[in-house]
Structure 1
Amino acid sequence: MSRPALRSIPLDQHAKGADAVTKEPPSLDRVGATPMMAQYIEIKAANPDCLLFYRMGDFFELFFEDAEIASRALGIVLTKRGKHGGNEIPMCGVPVERSDDYLSRLIALGHRVAVCQQVEDPAEAKKRGPKSVVRREVQRLVTPGTITEDRLLDPARANLLLAVGRRKISEQAQAYGLAAIDISTGRFSLSEVADGELAAAIARHEPREIVLSEAIHSDPALARLWRDTSAAVVPLAQAELEPASAERRIREQFGVATLDGFGAFSRAEIAAAGAALLYIERTQIGARVPLSAPTREASGATLSIDAATRANLELTRTLSGERKGSLLDTIDRTVSAGGARLLAEHLAGPLTDLEAIVQRQAAVAYLTEEAALRGALRDALAGAPDLARALSRTGLGRAGPRDLAALRDGLDAAARIAERLASLQGAPRALAAIGERLAGIDSGLVAELAAALADDLPLNRRDGGFVRAGYRADIDESRELGRDSRKVIAALQARYAEESGCRTLRIKHNNMLGFYIEVPQAVGEACLKGLMRDFVHRQTMIDAMRFTSVELGELESKISGASDRVLAMEGEVFEALAALVMAQATVIADVAEALAALDVAASHAELAVELDWTRPGLDAGVAFAIEGGRHPVVEAALRRSGEPFIANDCDLSGKESGRIRLVTGPNMGGKSTFLRQNALIVVLAQMGAFVPARSAHLGLVDRLFSRVGAADDLARGHSTFMVEMVETAAILNQATRRSLVVLDEIGRGTATFDGLSIAWACLEHLHETNGCRSLFATHFHELTALSQRLSRLDNATLRVTEHRGDVVFLHEVVPGVADKSYGLQVARLAGLPKGVVARAGAILKGLEASERDRPTRRKIDDLPLFASLADAPPSEPAQAVMVDDTVGALVDELDPDAMTPREALDALYRLKRERARKA
């Protein structure tokens, strides 16, 4: 998806209104513009990299290039409005009431939007002169990473803004600081990663928007990373990101004199936090965003999974980018929005802390045994609204009455859950800790919110009517006055109709005229003849006449005054309630986190009971013993179609280093499923969940690598084979003894001997250098001979049988070696024409016969080229060989660096034949 280019904008250029304007875009000149268009041009000049939503009445209008972009993106009509510089002005608009729908579509496409509102009454503007325009200001910038509105957010997904800082470690090495902020919930975390881990860290956070300095953005070594990310990338001017100002922003945000109370942060982390807070200050136009105190994530605290592995394993998104069909979609049994977000966070960053994992498992195990408790907790959690996001909107001043009701209901549900947890006997530490966090709720706040808020609440506070009757006597009195006045209006209409003899006389109201008397045009003056002395003519319509009277005017003032007083008093109630909420913001945020953690634990327990998953054993060694393992996503798909999943064992345990299992077998036999399922079991185990297996005993994995499947990357000029080699290189260079490596069909994208050589060398490197646990699937059956040389390598194959000429895949992994690849049978199943399959069979027989009959063919494991380095014989002194000119000419034609092993072998045979002919 293409995104608009974003350039760095100094903070002082983001003015709040038309009175604080800097330079204008060169294409827009105020000279000759109407007053309204001049104001638009000024405000647009202050926000050049945003689409400007310019409020005009009930619409947000866009002009010039913004209108053209928006009309294409939203599929709305592009019209014209007047002229500027001799050209017609393109224009389009969206209704204010439906603006959130259009905003969400623009944000999804990577656009940023400046929302410009009217900030004064039109009557006040008229006092300044007939040509004065209503004052407008940009009240916020809406960007992908700074959204707070529920209607623009995915309730099950965090909406992260990620800022990147950098510090120099040495001449060759640098470290990157990451600040992850979700302003919709107040989450704020900091971490630091080494040079080569930046891409993996960004992939784990899955941010919507990335903020960084111009220097980092323009670094050639990182250009591909910023180009390939799906997040919007916003570089900031270097002058705004001075180290001293970064630390000052953090102190001001939390009202502290020093950062020591939060922990020790590196310079890179402080730089990232400062950049994030600067960007938030810019987009929120100075509004203070309520954030939790920054927490620091220790290096190596989570399982390292690079972007390619995340994509291959489809952890949170499928390869097509959808949530449905991913592991997250399969395991999600949460019942609250906060729980769904935390589950996704746990899945994206499984732990490497054994004690923390065991605590999570203990909570899940307890809830699997207590079915009644689990059901009651899940029912209560399902009734708890999204506390975190309602609290954030309240702190930002964007909350409505329904947000206060969400806080009321969420805190009430939390109090009931706390009572239930407090009564438990022998509960594990994790559940007890959740109960303690929930016990801090102030029941007085819940009672006050319940007493103040009505049952039926409007979306916006400006609509009024949200204060419960009986909460404040003065509000009740003003409401009654308004209701009585409307009765008087009805009585006045009846009296006027009777006195005039015009039964079609009506007293109506609109925003332009207020209350007015309307009678049909045809009978207007005749009906009102006796009343005309008291009436004042207002309008003559095609089919009606409109009047007012002194009596009606006085009544209107009384009604409108009562209505305005009610709205003002309700506004006071709202502000008072919001202040009570924010006084306990820290407690409420902690309660929201505790509810989410409980929901995740209950979700894991529900899943384990539903699908018969088991608790894995974990230790700090290199064990890897899975009995009856299953692929959770494939099993779920088969279950829907009524088919069973064939479970398989996998043992990669070793004493000091893990074992390597070389898996052979036909395509469609289940090799990729077997490889992936074992990687997914590791992820599930280390996030604290139960796993789809009869039993599992695993040593903690520090890094997980998966190279499964094939795809090219034409945009970067990479073929399928090049992508495969890049990903394989990353694995071989980074895997440690505690890592798990899953490789499928390495070397299949090139010539046979080239690919075989690469696969052979990769296996040796994994065995001798990395020493990691590994699953290695291949069609190169020659590699199975390596089990005789590499002590930690064993062979396994997928069972296949043939019945009446058809191949039957049994999907069972057993020790041994595949006897053939069954490629022709798979081709037949795929629907290749019968003639093609038959011809391929004949060609195959001829090739196999040719190989058997070739007298000079040697066993592959006898070739010095494929001998392991440990077994390679020492070099012997070269013997001088006299050759005639013909042989010498042939030698001169050879380019050893450009030859494949097979070409080199053929050249050697040609030289031998020529030598024999000359002899």
Structure 2
Amino acid sequence: MTTPARKQYLRIKSQFPDAILMYQVGDFYETFDEDARIAARELQIVLTSRQYGGDGERVPLAGIPLHALDNYVGKLVHRGYKVAICQQVGEIGKGVVDREVTRILTAGTLSEPNLLPARQNNYMVAIAPGRAHTGLAVVDVSTGEFQVTWFETAEMPVALDAELQRLDPVECLLAEGHEKQSYHFPTKTVTITACPPSFFQPEAARERLCKLFGVQTLEAYGCAHISQAVAAAGAIVAYLEKMNGNLLSLLTGLRSYRTTSYMALDAHTQRNLELLQGTRSGTLHGSLLSVLDRTITAMGARQLRKVITQPLLDLSLLSDRLSSVEELFESPALRSRFTMCLQAFSDMERIAGRVRQGTAVRNEVFGLRDNLALIPQLRSQLLGCNATLLQQLAEEMDECEDVVSLIDRALMRSGEEDEDGDDGRLIRPGYHAELDELFASIKDSRRWMVTLEMRERERTGIKSLKVGFNKVFGYYIEVTKANLKLVPEDYMRKQTLVNAERFITPELKEHEARILTAFERIEEMERSIYADVLRQISVQYNRLIETARAVAWVDVLLSFAVVAAHQGYVRPVLEQGHGLEIVEGRHPVVEATLDGDVFIPNDTELDADNATRILLLTGPNMAGKSTYLRQVALITLMAQIGCFVPARSARLGLVDRIFTRVGAEDDIAAGKSTFMVEMEETATILHHATQHSLIILDEIGRGTSTYDGLAIARAVVEHLHDVTQARTLFATHYHELSALADELPHLKVYTMAISEDANGIVFLHRVRPGSAGRSYGVYVARLAGMPLSIIRRAEEVLGHLEQRPSPVLSLDAPSTNGRRVKQVAEAPSRYEWQSEEARELATRLEQGEDVDLDLLDVYAITPLDALNILFLWQKKRSKQHIR
């Protein structure tokens, strides 16, 4: 037989089958059945059981204290579980107390500060794929950010993967049936949530958004014409409404943005350049962020992460940022004043959100009040600056004097005493007349107790008699055992102690009831008044958020200036055009991690229009090629986020995209080898790079035969030189490619300098003109601790091989682009096609047919097939040109 309480639990649990139900029972939250087993395992708490009904069946049970809810729930949510909080909402009486689920917590719906990383956003995304566009909506309920963007089919999946890498969401909403689609997230811990398709229905989503914002159309939000963008944003609103409708109050607007407004950084580039996370550490250590982050506030740290991954393409905006950094850089006194001011700021952005939800505690409200009190000082300092952006940030700040005044009038700080010396009040005396009367009645009661004590001492003759109170037994009269014979008959025994007895009287009991009623009324009224104060503050939510975000920007610009001053960075010169000139450039992360050593700087000069379009870099392993390549990319990126750069000087033409192909790993889950991954990344670059791009390629053509690798590397270099015409740094171990300098007018060959003597070689980490004659791989193997017998044998084999003529450069043969190339003697005479589509297209090209390459599905063929098709197409074009 099932008890009424068990029936209530099962009824509520049936409504949330996919969530762990935290069911309030008095001062505990309890879990039952399979939920209890999960909670016990994940939280390391005791699993017990309880009998419900008379049939003897025991139900698994695991509970946590009421006050520890956030801590335990946070652990469950961060491990991918959905948690429903079921609270007691009715008065405790004879029957089963009423309960209801008040909120559902998931990774993307957390707003409690102790459950969130302070210096990182907690993004949830929704993806709505469509024929013409794919919509992506983004929300952080802890800060109120709500944004939407979209990608055309031609941009997919590269652009979407890049944005997911940048956002690093903790939860992703997908329509049921789409959850198994292949989206690439930076971390494997992201929670994938399948939602009803109705959440993503465009028209329903449009109505949902219009209702939320109180508008008739979405024209003002910039996404009305993109149905999939609307669908994604509407899905987030529907989901939040289901999980915790209170969170919707934080969404006061929707910002539309296009990733094309910023420098494109695909997912591979973001990882290869280690912008936010070091590859080896998997943490902040070793990342660009670790070097640039000198922010003081949590909201400034979150803003910096966005800035690093969204470099600008607008020269005017960049000039404003750089001028602001320069003014702060040049004045240590100004930096010091801003630093002292910002050190007093709490997380104003997230506190404003908790006020809006009505969940902020008193200390947070006073933290907000104290932040606002600092704004006049901060604004005054900003208005005294010359930089346009700093003055603009001052104008965006609102001192919110009305909010400060309201808090000062309505609330008392924790521990603050009123005029009577009491420190337990929440609402300040004078703010609410009825509450003041209740406190006055309690004070009268306390005076009455003193009077009662004096009167009873006199009446009974017991000089040690005391009138007291505790939370368990209420009011009492205490008499020592030595004086029990003097106790009057109207005293009623209430409690026995070791050395005393406690009594009550009808008069005391009647007065106790009045006092306790007053206390209950005070507690209820203070809660109501406090909630009303939060509501009044929340009306100014937009003003608070805009001010918080302006403070965050000041923090970011100050951080750039502090790093520049400490590390010896310079202001870069940015311009339109295709040039790139860096004098004595340094790698910002490597330099910062050197312990007493001096980083060896190097120059770089590229120009897509003339002179050096491609810098072909040769040299042995460990000589510093990869460091140099990344250094150029990072300096370029730093310049376009408005930061000073590690160099003696830098003049850079704006870059629309940075592409990097540096290192590769197997993708075993997708059945792809290292070589396949490398080819796919290279193909992406060739498809999307423009003349305004910066391309970093390290060791193209590894993982296959020497001939295949060299052929592919050469073909890629020629294509970049003749077709793409982008600024390119190309590192290679194929020293044979150095001969391309004689054929490609905009290619220059450089090498990493070494010093060699009888004792071995020394890597000088200097980039100089010329080609490396050897790879010194055997020497590096010796440094790595390879057994000496193997080293000696390798040297013998190498000596024999070096005496032979190179098999790679033996026959002159015409190329498909009209040049003479050194043909690989042992190379196969026919292509080995990996797909039937490529084979058919190749046959048509060889037969001289006109072929529309736009009809070729490049994602359906291998990168090598694509390159071979390109060779045949160029060959056909050159024959037509000759005719």
Residue 198 (structure 2) pairs with residue 274 (structure 1): no
DSSP 3-state at the match of 1:421: helix
Q: For 1:188, which of 146, 158, 163 is the aligned residue?
A: 146
Query: In structure 2, what residue type is equivalent to 1:564?
Result: E
Matches of 1:555 and 1:671, distance apart in 2:
86
Q: In the alignment, does 2:819 pair up with 1:871?
A: yes
Deviation at 1:316, TM superposition (A): 0.9
- Aligned counterpart, 2:868: none
How far residue 480 of structure 1 moved from its aligned partner, in angstroms, is 5.5
Q: Secondary structure at the match of 1:49?
A: coil
- 2:782 is aligned to 828
- Choose the corresponding residue for 1:48, options 11, 14, 17: 17
Q: C-alpha displacement at 1:285, in angstroms?
A: 3.7
Q: Could you tell me how far 1:530 is from its partner in structure 2?
A: 6.1
| Match in the other structure for 2:335 | 374
Contact 1:300 1:352 in 2 (8 A): no
| Distance across 2 between alignment mates of 1:704 and 1:632 | 17
Check whether the contact 1:657–1:772 (CA below 8 A) recurs between aligned residues.
Answer: no
What is residue 845 of structure 2 aligned with on the other side? none
Whether contact under 8 Å (1:68, 1:78) holds in the other structure is yes
Identity of aligned residues (%): 39
Does the 8 A contact of 1:667 with 1:823 survive in 2?
yes
Are 1:250 and 2:209 an aligned pair? yes
Deviation at 1:633, TM superposition (A): 0.9
In the alignment, what sits opposite 1:207? 169
Match of 2:850 in 1: none
Is 1:796 the counterpart of 2:796 in the alignment? Answer: no
Tell me if the contact between 2:616 and 2:732 (Cα under 8 Å) persists in the aligned partners.
yes
Alignment counterpart, residue 626 of structure 2, candidates 647, 672, 677 = 672
Residue 847 of structure 2 is matched in structure 1 by none
**TM-score by structure 2 length?**
0.85
**Judging changes above 3 Å, is the alpha-carbon distance between structure 1 residues 514 and 758 closer, same or farther for their aligned structure 2 residues?**
farther
**Secondary structure of the equivalent of 1:614?**
coil
Superposed CA offset, 1:491-518 (max 9, x none): 878998996989899956345x545678
SS in 1 for 2:607: coil
Query: Aligned runs of 1:888-907 on 2, under 5 Å?
Result: none
Partner SS state of residue 668, structure 1: coil
1:735 and 2:689 aligned? yes
> Which stretch has the larger CA shift, 808-817 or 657-666?
657-666
Taking the TM superposition and a 5 Å limit, the aligned residue runs for 1:463-612 are: 465-468=425-428, 475=435, 478-479=438-439, 481-482=441-442, 485=445, 509-510=470-471, 514-515=474-475, 531=487, 533-534=489-490, 536=492, 548-612=504-568
Distance 1:840 1:260, change over 3 A: same
The code of the aligned residue for 2:563 comes to L
Letter matched to residue 668 of structure 2: L
- Per the alignment, residue 739 of structure 2 pairs with 785
- Give the superposition deviation at 1:554: 2.7
Partners of 1:361 and 1:738 in 2: CA distance = 22
Q: Secondary structure, in 3 states, of the residue corresponding to 1:289?
A: helix
Q: Does 1:844 align with 2:798?
A: yes
Deviation at 1:112, TM superposition (A): 1.7
Hey, what does 2:653 align to over in structure 1? 699
* Preserved CA contact (<8 Å) 2:6 2:52: no
Secondary structure at 2:695 match in 1: strand
- Asked if residue 812 in structure 1 is aligned to residue 766 in structure 2, the reply is yes
Aligned to 1:883: none
Aligned partner of 2:848 in structure 1 is: none
Q: Is the 8 A contact 1:626 1:693 kept in 2?
A: yes
Give the direction of change, closer, same or farther, for the CA distance of 1:541–1:707 in structure 2 (3 Å limit).
farther
Match for residue 655 of structure 1 among 587, 605, 609: 609
Letter in 1 for 2:80: G
Which runs of 5 or more structure 1 residues have no equivalent in the other structure? 1-31, 127-131, 170-174, 876-890, 901-919
The one-character-per-residue Cα deviations of 1:719-759 (angstroms, maximum 9, x if unpaired) are: 33332222222222222221111121222223332322222
**Structure 2 residue matching 1:652: 3-state secondary structure:** strand
Instruction: Give the Cα–Cα distance (whole angstroms) in 1 for the partners of residues 283 and 694 of structure 2.
Output: 26
- Which residue number in structure 1 is paired with residue 349 of structure 2? 388
Cα deviation 1:516-538 (Å, max 9, x = unaligned): 67899xx7xx9756648545566
Please give the alpha-carbon distance, in whole angstroms, between the structure 1 residues aligned to 2:525 and 2:407: 16
Match of 1:237 in 2: 196
Tell me the SS of whatever aligns to 1:33.
coil
User: What residue in structure 1 maps to residue 726 of structure 2?
Assistant: 772
Q: Secondary structure at the match of 1:666?
A: coil
5 Å matches for 1:752-767? 752-767=706-721
Distance 1:590 1:695, change over 3 A: same
> How many residues get paired?
816
Q: Which amino acid aligns with 1:152?
A: L
Give me the whole-angstrom Cα distance separating, in 1, the residues matched to 2:345 and 2:170: 26
Q: 1:503 to 1:704 in 2, by over 3 A?
A: same
1:237 offset after TM fit, Å? Answer: 1.0
Taking structure 1 as reference, are residues 469 and 799 closer, same or farther at Cα in structure 2, changes over 3 Å only?
A: farther
- 2:319 corresponding residue in structure 1: 358
Counterpart AA for 1:138: V
Decide whether the 8 Å contact of 1:508 with 1:518 is kept in 2.
Answer: no
User: Aligned residue for 1:72?
Assistant: 41
Q: How far apart are 1:279 and its partner, in Å?
A: 1.0
Q: Match for 1:450 among 408, 416, 441?
A: 408
Cα displacement string for residues 577-623 of structure 1 (whole angstroms, at most 9, x for unaligned residues): 32332232222221112111111111111211121111112222211
Give 3-state SS (helix, strand or coil) of 2:598's partner.
coil
Check the 8 A contact 2:246/2:357 in 1, yes or no. no
Aligned residue among 574, 598, 619 for 1:618:
574
Q: Secondary structure at 1:217's aligned position in 2?
A: coil
1:113 is aligned to 83
Deviation at 1:202, TM superposition (A): 1.6
For the residues of structure 2 that align with 1:712 and 1:547, how far apart are their CA atoms? 81
1:289 maps to 249
- Structure 2: segments with no counterpart, 5+ residues: 417-422, 835-863, 865-883
Letter in 1 for 2:200: L
Following superposition, the deviation at residue 870 of structure 1 comes to: 2.9
Report the 3-state secondary structure (helix = DSSP H, G, I; strand = E; otherwise coil) of the residue aligned with 1:651: strand
| 1:567 CA displacement | 2.6
Distance 1:538 1:760, change over 3 A: farther
Partner of 1:144: 107
Q: Look up the SS of the partner of 1:860 in the other structure.
A: coil
Cα deviation for residue 299 of structure 1 reads 4.8
Kindly state the Cα deviation for residue 477 of structure 1 after the two structures are TM-superposed: 5.5
1:833-863: CA deviation from partner (whole Å, max 9, x where unpaired):
33332333233223334x35xxxx6452636
Q: Is 1:164–2:133 an aligned residue pair?
A: no
Mapped contact 1:139–1:285 kept (Cα < 8 A): no
Secondary structure at the residue paired with 2:184?
helix
What is the DSSP-based 3-state SS (H/G/I as helix, E as strand, rest coil) of the residue aligned with 1:144? Answer: coil
Amino acid at match of 1:605: A
Q: Deviations over 1:398-429 (max 9, x none)?
A: 122123212211211122211222344xx222
- CA–CA distance in structure 2, aligned partners of residues 837 and 212 of structure 1: 55
Question: 1:103 Cα shift?
Answer: 2.2
Report whether the alignment pairs 1:398 with 2:398: no
Could you report, residue by residue, the CA deviation over 1:800-826 in whole angstroms, capped at 9, with x for unpaired residues?
Answer: 113442321111111111121222222
Matched-pair contact (CA < 8 Å) for 1:657–1:737: no
Aligned partners of 2:59 and 2:532: how far apart in 1? 46
SS in 1 for 2:260: coil
| Deviation (angstroms), 1:226 | 6.9
CA contact (8 A) 2:659 2:685 kept: yes
Alpha carbons of structure 1 residues 895 and 454: separation in structure 2 relative to 1, 3 Å: closer
Q: Deviations 1:348-381 (Å, cap 9, x if unpaired)? A: 2112222222221121122222332232122212
Answer whether contact 1:340 1:600 (CA < 8 A) is retained. Answer: yes
- Give the letter for the 1:159 counterpart: N
Deviation at 1:864, TM superposition (A): 4.4
Moved more, 32-41 or 322-331: 32-41
